[in-house]
A = this chain, B = another copy of it.
Amino acid sequence: MDARERLIETARELLWERGYVGTSPKAIQQRSGAGQGSMYHHFRGKSDLARAAIDRSAADMRDRAEAEFGRPGTALERISSYLRLERRVLAGCPVGRLTQDPDVMGDPQLREPVERTFDWLTDRLTGMLADGRRDGEFDAALDPAATAAMLVAVVQGGYVLARASNSPEAYSRAIAGAIGLLTGHARPA
């Protein structure tokens, strides 16, 4: 792995652990083993490197989700397996945590991949829920867009609960609660 690559991967780790404001160029250099000059040769500065790191984390998140969405099975099955994906719960969401960072959300370049990822995810779930409803899998009263937003929110909020209690259980409980309600609503009236 060359220096450029190590810098990006290390930046991803540190952004995940400490956010953008909490991550200094020096910390990235030290952990990656790249020197000052090397970093500023490959990237114009902190935000340029961060953009590369965020792009990659966002693509990663979409790929992992899409792998579940593309499986065979009913909409409920595919959504449930997505929700139960193994996640580093206590670490939080590498993309979602960036929404709390004023310097990320204040910079259009850094914000763009974050915004796009959540739009994509919500749209994808909305489509699956609409298909499931059409096929009689869900109640006709189910609102696909609202339910999709709720599901994405449960995952993101699950991370918050898990970190607050320092235990992954809180995350699992929230997911189980969501699947329970979704299953209940799946009974046509």
Contact = CB atoms under 8 A, between A and B. Distances in A.
Contacts of A139: 184
A110 B189 CA distance: 48
The CB with the most chain B CB atoms within 10 A, among A21, A141, A182, A189, is that of A21
Nearest to A17: B102
A6 interface: no
Nearest to A156: B157
Interface in A77-106: 92, 96-97, 99-103, 105
Interface in A116-161: 117-119, 122, 139, 141-143, 145-158, 160-161
A187 interface: yes
Interface string A151-189: 111111110110111100010011111101110110101
A147 B183 CA distance: 13
Q: Which of A157, A163, A174 is the most central at the interface, judged by chain B CB atoms within 10 Å of its CB? A: A157
Contact of A152 (B114, B157, B181): B157
21 contacts: A18-B102, A19-B21, A22-B22, A22-B101, A22-B102, A92-B100, A105-B163, A115-B165, A119-B164, A119-B165, A145-B177, A146-B173, A150-B154, A150-B174, A153-B153, A153-B157, A153-B158, A153-B178, A157-B158, A181-B184, A184-B185
Interface of A: 17-19, 21-22, 92, 96-97, 99-103, 105, 114-115, 117-119, 122, 139, 141-143, 145-158, 160-161, 163-166, 170, 173-178, 180-182, 184-185, 187, 189
Closest A-B pairs by Cβ, 9 of them: A153-B157, A150-B177, A157-B157, A156-B157, A146-B177, A153-B174, A149-B173, A181-B181, A184-B185
